[in-house]
Structure 1
């Protein structure tokens, strides 16, 4: 088996909000629809069974109008700490988001792990940019709600 580090995109983002506030943006499908995916994408969520073993079906709509059906399964969920999915169609991967409490907020650790180094390397450049944008959109969604309250 190839080492996880050699077949994963890992990044981190500090969000000046409590882990519970960040987690709230991950468990609410309406909020997920606003932040999920690279910049310019929108989402239609068809099913969001937020529990281990639950299904997540959605269509991502690209800025050029292309639709991307997505099917995932929730693998692990630990309230205010961890969110993990397995993406089942198209490119197979496991995505883990860990929420680490910090003095002034939360460090979000994001790891997208593919089945092989070769598979990851084919997508690495795109995945790096898309994941950075995803984290930016998550932070903006958390702050949008927290700023309004």
Structure 2
């Protein structure tokens, strides 16, 4: 069983984050799939979220803005590529949808039932190892993802 800290594994162009949550697989899936939940926890420390539109279906698009603590807004566009409730959500991050943001990667969010809780396994796959290093250097992507999962944990505590 994965402990409450985020385990992080870097393998070439892929980063895998793992953490155990003492909640049902169904609840963990729900907070990843509904805008009203996502707005409460999505993003690194200090960020807030505004969803512009979300079609949570295979092939559907989620457009959102992340508002940074420094006042900078970042538009984002995600396309869901494969969803199987409550087991996984796969998506492609398409940048900002306008060609301005230069971050493209695929994510696999896997919800693994373990005893009374759930292991969250979040994989981010970049086009190359160099691209992962560039994005991490420019945006602090790996630390940001750890904070992202930490904010999820804090939000889940409010639902217990």
Provide TM-score, normalisation by structure 1. Answer: 0.91
Give the equivalent residue in structure 1 for 2:59.
53
Give the equivalent residue in structure 2 for 1:8.
14
Give the equivalent residue in structure 1 for 2:132.
120
Say whether 1:87 aligns with 2:93.
yes
CA distance in 2 between partners of 1:47 and 1:117 (Å): 31
Give the equivalent residue in structure 1 for 2:117.
105
Helix, strand or coil: the match of 2:78? strand
Give the equivalent residue in structure 2 for 1:23.
29
Extract unaligned runs of 5+ from structure 2.
1-9, 96-100
Helix, strand or coil: the match of 2:63? strand
Shift of the alpha carbon at 1:34? 1.4
Superposed CA offset, 1:59-106 (max 9, x none): 000000000000110111110110111011220001111001111300
Shift of the alpha carbon at 1:56? 0.4
Provide TM-score, normalisation by structure 2. Answer: 0.85
Pick aligned residue for 1:133 from 147, 153, 158: 147
CA contact (8 A) 1:25 1:141 kept: no
**Higher relative contact order structure (alpha carbons within 8 Å, sequence separation ≥ 6):** 1
Extract unaligned runs of 5+ from structure 1.
none
CA distance in 2 between partners of 1:132 and 1:79 (Å): 24
Deviation larger for 114-123 or 46-55 = 114-123
> How many residues in Structure 1 have an aligned counterpart in Structure 2?
143
Helix, strand or coil: the match of 1:141? helix
CA distance in 2 between partners of 1:61 and 1:139 (Å): 20
Q: If each structure's helix is expressed as a fraction of its own residues, which one has the higher value?
A: 1
